[in-house]
Structures are given as structure tokens and as C-alpha cells.
Amino acid sequence: MTSRRLRHDLFSGCLAVILACCFVCSVSAADFDLSVSLADAHCDRAPSPLFFPCVMVDTTAGSRIKADSEMTVYSSAIHPDVIEIPGGWNRHRYWASFSPYPHLVTGMGNENPHVVCSDDGVHWTNQVGKRRKQIIRNPIDRRNRANRYTHLSDPDLLMDADSTMWVLYRAKFGTRPDTVLFVASGSKDGRVWSRPMVVVSGLTRPDLRHEDAGLSPSILRLKGRYHLWYINAQSQPHRIFHLVSDSLQSGWQSADSTDLGNNQPVRGDIWHMNVLQSPDGSLLGLFTFTDSATHGENCKLRLAYSADDGTSWTLAPQWLLEHAADRNAWDGNQIYRSGGSFQKQDSGWVFNLYYSAMRLGKVPIWSTGLTTVHFDRFDNVDSTGNFR
């Protein structure tokens, strides 16, 4: 190697380090405090839903040995969770999990967990790779007569330290009493997913033996440990349970549980949740509340904040999203489980919010839309939601 080439490589390497440091500094969270910003959070409704490719499987027709019939549709996505990876993972910056809930397919096709990818966070596909010639094997898991699951729902994504992406979801046996399991499947390439494994079982946890137990699990890795939150809705008020473990695959122990105490909204119970890390190191909770003593009716979204790794929560004083006044709008009946990611802009931090919702109409239709949550005061934003 010539000295000129060596000097060039050294310069390029140093420049890369400098640029990386500049990037880290540019997204520093020193100017963001979630505990303060929570009260100023606001967003508009998404004007229309996004389109996610869903592989619908109907295993109710034909004999037991007949192959499942499949069809691909581009709607009905519910329970979104989104991970943004600035440098990309397997060539794609955004990855999402969700479970379809179509009303056009009956039987066992509903709520089988899916994973898709995107380069811009708006256009989603099940095709991966350099030329998008490889297809993600959706659904990641499916209900059938053999496994006896009545639900495979509420998926949540985790990018692990070894670059394995995990999708964790809720599985329910229709036993008496109902038994809930948390199941996980991992992938190194986003296309092929490992055989699902049970990581938490209702067979060993009495609190997971109920039809409305283990709702909306959310998993994070914090300070080298895994944290898992979920909701039990079998009593009033509903409770958030929090487990911790040194391993994703086993060893989960109870850390705490809470019914939110005085933070609980009047005539409201927590129904679904998602927990994400904030730029300032605290935790952001996306909490969906339902009318008290109902089974997920009139759901609304509120933000929450935790400074102690998800042990206690402080709710924002205002609702972030309620359903549209027009019940025929795509989000005119329910605001359901949500996900998203923080993004640094020139004017400050924002949160890209993916929220699932339902249109009432003659045929209820579930979908997921995208909007932007701003953390500045309203007087700094014009009527279109842009910074002045």
C-alpha cells in the first residue's frame, strides 16, 4: 500500500469518526426532558391509514390435512410496534410488527403476528434484501387445529444486543380457565424466523389464567436486563404487571405491579400499552384507556412517563388522541394500541406515532395510521402542525 493511499485511508477513517461524533452530538438529548414536555404533547389525527401487506390464513375450510388457503390484503393492521434503526438492519431502516384483524376473513385467520419493513416509515413491504427479491415468511406464527391457540395477538419488537430481532406476542389457550402465554420468535435477517418458544407461561403464573390477562405485552432491554410489561384486565381497576429477567428466554421474575392509583383517569381503565425509551433516558408509555367496566370500548390514547425503569408512571394531563367525530372516518370508533419512534428535527424532538384505530360503519375495519407528536407549546405551531 502506498503512503498516499495509507494517508487517504487514515484521513477517511478519522473523518468517519468525527462525523459519527457530530451525529451523536446532533441528536443529544440534553435539550429534551420528557417529564416537562409531556404536558405540551399534541398531534393531529392521521388523515388516512397506511397500507401493510397482510397474509390472511383461513384454516377453517376443508379437511384437517388440506393445506391452508392464503390471500394477501393491504389493510386491517392492528397493534403496531415500530423500530427505527438509523444505520439500517438488513438494508432497511424501519421494521414493524402488527397483527391483522380483518372482518372479511372468518375463523383462524385473525391476529396472526406479522413483520414488515420500510425505507421511509410510510411505505411498507414484506419484500427484503438489496433488490427486494426475498419474502418475509408471514405470518410469523399461525393458529391451527394442532396448537389449540385461540389468539396470537399483540406483537412487540425488540432489537437485541447481538443484532437478533425478536417479535414477542400473546398466545392464549381456550382452556378453562383461559391460559395466556408469551411467545417469542427471533431472526437474523428479518426473513426467516425461528421456531416460536414460550418465554412466560400462565401455567406457572396464576395472574395469566384469565381471558383478559396478559394484554398488550411490551418488552425492552434496559441496562443489560430484559423488562416486560403487560396488562391484566380481570379486575377493577386494571393493573400493569412488570417482569424482569437476565435472559429473554427464561427466568422472568415479578418486579412490581400497579393500578396507576390516583393517576387513573376518571371512568377509565388501562386497556393496552407500549413502552419505549425516550431520548433523555426515561421511558415513554403509550397508554390506551377504555371506558370502565367495558371490554375495550371508546378507547383513547394518553402518554405517560417513568423515571424508574417502568416501576411507577405519571400520566400526561391531557388526552393525546380520541376517535374522530365522524364514526365513518377510518379512526372514528376506537384509538387502539400504538407504537413509534423519536426523531430529532432542527426545531426539536418529535415522536412519529403509529396508532391503530377502527372505523365503525356497516363493516368494522381496523387500520393503522401515522402522525407526528410535537412536544412544544401550541403557540409555536401553526394550523397545519408545522413549527413557526
Span 56-73, mean pLDDT? Answer: 50
3-state secondary structure at position 188: coil
The answer to pTM > 0.85 is yes
The pLDDT value given to residue 2? 44
388 within domain boundaries = no
279 within domain boundaries = yes
Q: At residue 342, what is the residue type?
A: F
2 within domain boundaries = no
3-state secondary structure at position 181: strand
Span 176-197, mean pLDDT? Answer: 93
Query: What's the chain's Rg over C-alpha atoms?
Result: 21
271 within domain boundaries = yes
Specify the range with the lowest mean pLDDT, choosing from 62-76, 90-104, 133-147, 365-379: 62-76
Is the pLDDT higher at 336 or at 54? 336
The model's confidence at residue 67, banded by pLDDT at 50, 70 and 90, is very low
- Please tell me what DSSP assigns to residue 132: S
Residue-averaged pLDDT of the chain = 84
Is the pLDDT higher at 13 or at 260? 260
263 within domain boundaries = yes
The pLDDT value given to residue 58? 62
Q: At residue 11, what is the residue type?
A: F
Evaluated on CA atoms 353, 259, 172, 217, the torsion sign reads: positive
- The total number of structural domains in the chain stands at 1
Neighbours of 40 (CB within 10 A): 15
Q: Is 216's pLDDT higher than 90?
A: yes
Cα within 13 Å of Cα(81), Cβ side: 28
Span 275-285, mean pLDDT? Answer: 97
84 within domain boundaries = yes
User: What dihedral angle (degrees, nearest 10) is formed by the CA atoms of 105, 110, 113, 114?
Assistant: 20
Contact (CB, 8 A) for 243 and 227: yes
Contact (CB, 8 A) for 208 and 252: no
10 within domain boundaries = no
Q: How far is CA 142 from CA 12, 146, 313, 376, in A?
A: 49, 10, 34, 43
Burial 230-260, CB ≥16 within 10 A → b, else e: bbbbbeeebbbbbbbbeebeeebeebebbeb
Contact (CB, 8 A) for 157 and 96: yes
Residues 6+ apart with CB under 8 A from 12: none
Strand-by-strand arrangement of the 77-89 sheet? 77-89, 92-100, 114-118
Q: CATH number for the domain including 249?
A: 2.115.10.20
The whole-angstrom separation of Cα 59 and Cα 44 is 39
The domain in which residue 375 lies consists of 31-380
Three-state secondary structure along 2-46? CHHHHHHHHHHHHHHHHHHHHHHHHCCCCCCCHHHHHHHCECCCC
Look at residues 353, 230, 254 and name the one whose alpha carbon lies nearest to residue 303: 353
Which phi and psi angles does 61 have, rounded to 5°? -95, 150
The whole-angstrom separation of Cα 336 and Cα 314 is 20
The whole-angstrom separation of Cα 125 and Cα 365 is 20
Q: Is 294's pLDDT higher than 50?
A: yes
Which tens digits make up the pLDDT trace of 114-163?
A: 999 999 999 999 999 877 778 998 999 988 766 677 889 999 999 999 99
Span 180-195, mean pLDDT? Answer: 96
265 within domain boundaries = yes
Q: Is 23's pLDDT higher than 70?
A: no
DSSP letters spanning 291-355: ETTSSS-S-EEEEEEESSTTSS-EE-SS-SB---SSTTSTTSSEEEEEEEEEEEETTEEEEEEEE
Look at residues 300, 259, 307 and name the one whose alpha carbon lies nearest to residue 284: 307
pLDDT cut 70: percent of the chain above it: 81
Task: Please tell me whether the peptide bond between 102 and the residue prior to it is cis, using omega within 30 degrees of 0.
Answer: no
Q: Is 213's pLDDT higher than 70?
A: yes
Q: Let me know if 139 is exposed, middle or buried by CB neighbors in 10 A (0-12, 13-18, 19+).
A: buried
